[in-house]
Amino acid sequence: MKKIYIAAGGPERLLPDLEQENGEGINWVGVDRGVLYLSERSIPMVEAIGDFDSITAEEREALENRHLSLNMYPSEKDKTDTELALDWAISQNPELIRIYGATGGRLDHFFANIYLMMKQTESGIPIQIADQYNIISLLESGVHTIKEEEAFPYISFIPINGDAGQLTLEGFKYPLKNRHIPFGSTLCISNELIHHTGTVSFSSGILMMIRSRDETKMK
């Protein structure tokens, strides 16, 4: 599988246009209420996973009437529905995993989803979380070329598992040179590229990169 996109059950208002996100080489996995989101948009799924406690009996019956095979899990379990879906996606060894419907709503769910991205360090598969206003990814130590995306002009870098060592930003509005960024720092919030590409390099740690746009500028 080239790419696996996961639709989780977060607030529907934060989803981008999933039909526009669909395309050749993309395989969709529905998670709990995310199965309903995909089904309503006539987007086919390779898997439908969850305990389905966030949908009504009528909605579940409607899904089954569409001949969807639901992989049912008990509501009391050691992993969240999203983690079960992510583990399945990793087992397929795609080139990219992107999760929608994982932001907004309950903060405990959001933080849990953020930390699920750390599975990237074990699997070697890039894992992203995306919604209407943000694309979140992880950068491991080394040198990374960042390309301009007009739809998401703001770029933030946040240490996620300790300090980031010798961070250098080139091609950005606010450059840095060999700067130690402690865990919890807000120094690298809301930067911007000044060229079509920029370079991020650091010697240790893991950075969460958030590419964002303002909601007000979309209206």
What mean pLDDT is reported for the chain?
92
pLDDT at 215: 81
What's this model's pTM, rounded to 2 decimal places? 0.91
- Of the candidates 6, 208, 206, 210, the one whose C-alpha atom is nearest the C-alpha of residue 97 is 6
Q: How confident is the model at residue 52 (pLDDT cuts 50, 70, 90)?
A: confident
Among the listed ranges 40-44, 113-117, 187-191, which one has the minimum average pLDDT value?
40-44
Q: Which residue has the tokens 């739809």?
A: 151
Q: How confident is the model at residue 1 (pLDDT cuts 50, 70, 90)?
A: low
CB count within 10 Å of CB 134 equals 17
pLDDT at 217: 59
Q: What is the CATH number of domain 3-132?
A: 3.40.50.10240
Report d(CA 147, CA 110) in Å as an integer: 26
Task: Assess if CATH 3.40.50.10240 describes domain 137-218.
Answer: yes
Give the dihedral sign, CA 172/167/213/120: positive
Q: What is the pLDDT of residues 112-159, one digit of tens each?
A: 999 999 999 999 999 999 999 999 999 999 999 999 999 999 999 999
Query: Residue 39: CB partners within 8 Å, gap ≥ 6?
Result: 30, 45, 63, 66, 68
Q: 77 pLDDT exceeds 90?
A: no
Domains 3-132 and 137-218 share a fold: yes
pLDDT over 90 percentage in the chain? 78
Q: Where are the domains of the chain?
A: 3-132, 137-218
Q: 163 pLDDT exceeds 90?
A: yes
Q: What are the residues facing 129 on neighbouring strands?
A: 99, 136
Question: Which has the higher per-residue pLDDT, 131 or 55?
Answer: 131
Report d(CA 190, CA 79) in Å as an integer: 33
